[in-house]
């Protein structure tokens, strides 16, 4: 009789072990399916709105060249920079299987900052240039105005080099021909006293 009870105990223990192993196998298979799902479908999509060609967009410091992305869920920092516009930085939250959109806010750069980056200090002085009566032309690729105590100036943006340069400035060692300017920029420089 003792042997029969021990055999029953062994059978019960064996059945319990088999049930436990079956449960572990089931949990392992479920975990594998969850991981496979997350691997293939665990992304959110992000669409970057089209911006002018000189705008460089980065996400968490990585330059982005395409407009539609698949990203893992999480929080990202998106920065759009350009010599023509103020940098735009936005937080972007990506959720699994959800579509997000990034639309940069492109505001023109400060005309004084552009002028200062091109000519440095006011000719004959050490002060930063102050541009008054600033006006944008040709889709923000030309900037014209009057540099206080120096005279009219026209700055042009070179998209190939991604930089601003002087198109007209009556100061020494700068281009000073109105003929090389677009007609609307030339007319404005003349209004400001350029010749």
Residue extents of the structural domains in the chain: 44-102, 111-191
Helix (H) or strand (E) holding 126: none
Rg (alpha carbons) of the chain, rounded to whole number: 33
Burial (CB count <10 Å: 0-12, 13-18, 19+), residue 84:
buried
Burial (CB count <10 Å: 0-12, 13-18, 19+), residue 49:
exposed
**Is the model's pLDDT at 176 over the cut of 80?**
yes
Look at 23-37, 80-94, 109-123 and tell me which has the smallest mean pLDDT: 23-37
pLDDT at position 26: 86
Q: Which pLDDT tens digit goes with each residue over 141-152?
A: 999 999 988 889
Asked whether the beta carbons of 168 and 178 are under 8 A apart, the reply is yes
């Amino acid at each position: 009789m003792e042997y029969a009870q021990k055999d029953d105990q062994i059978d019960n223990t064996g059945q319990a072990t088999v049930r436990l192993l079956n449960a572990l196998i089931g949990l392992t298979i479920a975990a594998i399916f969850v991981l496979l799902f997350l691997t293939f479908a665990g992304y959110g999509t992000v669409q970057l709105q089209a911006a002018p060609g000189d705008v460089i967009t980065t996400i968490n410091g990585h330059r982005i060249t395409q407009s539609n992305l698949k990203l893992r869920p999480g929080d990202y920092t998106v920065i759009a920079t350009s010599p023509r516009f103020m940098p735009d930085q936005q937080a972007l939250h990506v959720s699994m299987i959800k579509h997000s959109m990034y639309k940069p806010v492109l505001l023109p750069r400060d005309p004084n900052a552009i002028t200062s980056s091109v000519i440095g200090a006011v000719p004959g002085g050490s002060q930063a240039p102050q541009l008054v009566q600033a006006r944008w032309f040709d889709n923000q690729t030309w900037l014209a105005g009057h540099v206080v105590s120096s005279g009219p100036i026209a700055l042009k943006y070179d998209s190939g080099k991604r930089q601003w340069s002087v198109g007209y400035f009556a100061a020494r060692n700068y281009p000073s021909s109105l003929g090389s300017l677009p007609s609307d920029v030339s007319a404005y420089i003349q209004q400001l006293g350029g010749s």
